[in-house]
């Protein structure tokens, strides 16, 4: 693990005024300690069970849930994570309405209509936001995971347009979570405020 590589990526992200969110899925305690010692206090995690292992060691860290949601685990997730990036169904919003939590939410957008991925379809985004707000659930932003065959510039450009429209219509914070190890630099050019990087940090 090269500190210089991590420094380079972090400096690039910070130069855009964005946040680097290290993804610690399947990472060893040594690798997570490497990130922690560098100064990171926010991690992205895919599994509730893995979070519970990390949290016992790093209890001053904020955790972002970045994986598809199982409804039966949603309450437990909201009580353990500070952010959820993958809200995409009205059923999830209905559950959130019943939970007393300070967790912040991002809506996952299926911007390129990938049938294999979760997310609100582009044409239904406004109505989904309205549903959230009617339930008292105020989104903090939106996120996307592009199809591997999609052109990142097109995907991220479309996400920026959607986010700008939502900020005008709903006056919300407008966090834009997009970009991973292979395309984060493109995402930054299109206004990403959070980039989720795993593999590239450990090379």
DSSP 24: -
What is the overall mean pLDDT for the chain?
92
pLDDT, position 41: 95
Q: How many C-alpha atoms does 27 have within 13 Å on its Cβ side?
A: 26
- Torsion, Cα 131 135 137 142, to 10 degrees, reads -10
Going by CATH, does the domain composed of 3-202 fall within 3.20.20.10?
yes
Q: Where are the domains of the chain?
A: 3-202
pLDDT band at 3 (very low <50, low <70, confident <90, very high): low
Is 97 a residue whose pLDDT tops 90?
yes
Distance CA 186, CA 183 (A): 5
Express each pLDDT in 156-192 by its tens digit.
Answer: 999 999 999 999 999 888 999 999 999 999 999 999 9
pTM of the prediction? Answer: 0.93
- Conformation bin of residue 113: beta by default, left when phi > 0, alpha when psi is -120 to 50: left
pLDDT above 70: residue 2 = no
Q: Name the token pair of 179.
A: 């970009």
């Amino acid at each position: 693990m090269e500190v210089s590589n991590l420094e380079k990526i972090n400096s690039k992200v910070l130069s855009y005024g964005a946040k680097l969110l290290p993804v610690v899925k399947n990472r060893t305690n040594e690798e997570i300690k490497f990130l922690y010692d560098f100064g990171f206090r926010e991690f992205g995690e895919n599994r509730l069970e893995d979070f519970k292992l990390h949290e016992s060691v790093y209890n001053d860290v904020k955790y972002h849930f970045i994986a598809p949601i199982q409804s039966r685990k949603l309450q437990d997730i909201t009580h353990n994570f500070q952010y959820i990036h993958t809200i995409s169904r009205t059923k999830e919003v209905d559950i959130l309405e019943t939970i007393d939590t300070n967790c912040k939410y991002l809506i996952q957008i299926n911007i390129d209509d990938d049938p294999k991925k979760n997310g609100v379809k582009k044409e239904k985004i406004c109505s989904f936001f309205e549903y959230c707000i009617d339930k008292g659930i105020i989104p903090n932003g939106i996120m996307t995971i592009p199809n591997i065959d999609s052109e990142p510039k097109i995907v991220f450009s479309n996400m920026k347009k959607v986010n700008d429209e939502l900020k005008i219509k709903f006056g919300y914070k407008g966090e834009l979570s997009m970009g991973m190890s292979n395309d984060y630099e493109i995402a930054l050019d299109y206004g990403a405020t959070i980039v989720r990087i795993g593999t590239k940090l450990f090379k």
